[in-house]
Amino acid sequence: MDAKSQLKKWVEEGRSIVFFGGAGVSTESNIPDFRSADGLYNQQYKYPPETIISHSFYLREPEEFFRFYRNKMLYLDAKPNKAHLALASLEKAGKLKAVITQNIDGLHQAAGSREVLELHGSVHRNTCSRCGKFYDAAFVKNADGVPKCECGGTVKPDVVLYEECLDTKVMQKAVQYIEHADVLIVGGTSLTVYPAAGLIEYYTGSRLVLINKSATPMDSRADLIITEPIGEALGMFLNEEDLEAMR
């Protein structure tokens, strides 16, 4: 049986499937991984992304932080792709219990997924650091320089920066879902960014599926490896309604 037929069979049999995804899930929606330094990047910024997207840098040089954030992390016109839609369909069908994501773009929810655990937060939630007032992503996108609340406080995106802790409750929930999963599908992540690799250790089943274009440190642990683009690999789970919505 080829790898995709095997995945299809496991998904048909699965009752508690969990998906864990990274930046590669959104690249097919034209959202580049902000960690991948391109030529343009090197001309535009004096520091590596890990420095700019850190808590201390955010406090020290907020203007530069928000310049990077708007250019490299906010893609408000992006649309869900086949992978997002297929996962939402599997949840509706009662097969998939949760999506755990390292992405901050909200595309799983835009596709219709309900149980989405965002390990690194979301660009769609922004709050004033002084009074706690909520602002949407468009407000941050359209603000000049550092986005300011009407009270004068800085509006901070609810995105986990380097040097900041992950939300404990979200992490605990992710661990629970993974522990109870019968099939764990991991896609679009090189499994090198914390806490991805550690989380997968909680899976004790024998149906760990890795969908990634290149090799990962977890390949030897996987029960099935698919090297196709993730939209192609999961595309077989789209239903007629999804395909109609994509036209």
Residues that bind Zn ion (CB under 5 A): 128, 130-131, 133, 149, 151, 153
Q: What residues contact 176, with CB distance under 8 A and at least 6 apart?
A: none
Residues 115/97, Cβ–Cβ less than 8 Å? yes
Q: Which is nearer to Zn ion, 12 or 150 (CB)?
A: 150
Q: Is 209 exposed, middle or buried (0-12, 13-18, 19+ CB in 10 A)?
A: buried
Query: Active site residue: 84, 108, 120, 124, which one?
Result: 120
Q: Helix, strand or coil for residue 155?
A: strand
Minimum CB separation from Zn ion for residue 129, in Å?
A: 8
Q: Which is nearer to Zn ion, 60 or 133 (CB)?
A: 133
Q: Which is nearer to Zn ion, 128 or 200 (CB)?
A: 128
Minimum CB separation from Zn ion for residue 54, in Å?
A: 24
84 is catalytic: no
Q: Name the region of 136 (left: φ>0; alpha: ψ -120 to 50; beta: rest).
A: beta
Minimum CB separation from Zn ion for residue 161, in Å?
A: 20
Q: Which is nearer to Zn ion, 112 or 153 (CB)?
A: 153
Q: What residues contact 194, with CB distance under 8 A and at least 6 apart?
A: none
Residues 65/145, Cβ–Cβ less than 8 Å? no
Minimum CB separation from Zn ion for residue 152, in Å?
A: 7
Minimum CB separation from Zn ion for residue 46, in Å?
A: 30
Phi first, then psi, for residue 65 (nearest 5°) are -55, -50
Phi first, then psi, for residue 69 (nearest 5°) are -60, -45
DSSP 150: T
Beta bridge partners of 55: none
Q: Which is nearer to Zn ion, 60 or 130 (CB)?
A: 130
Gap between the Cα atoms of 43 and 131, Å rounded: 37
Which amino acids are annotated catalytic? 120
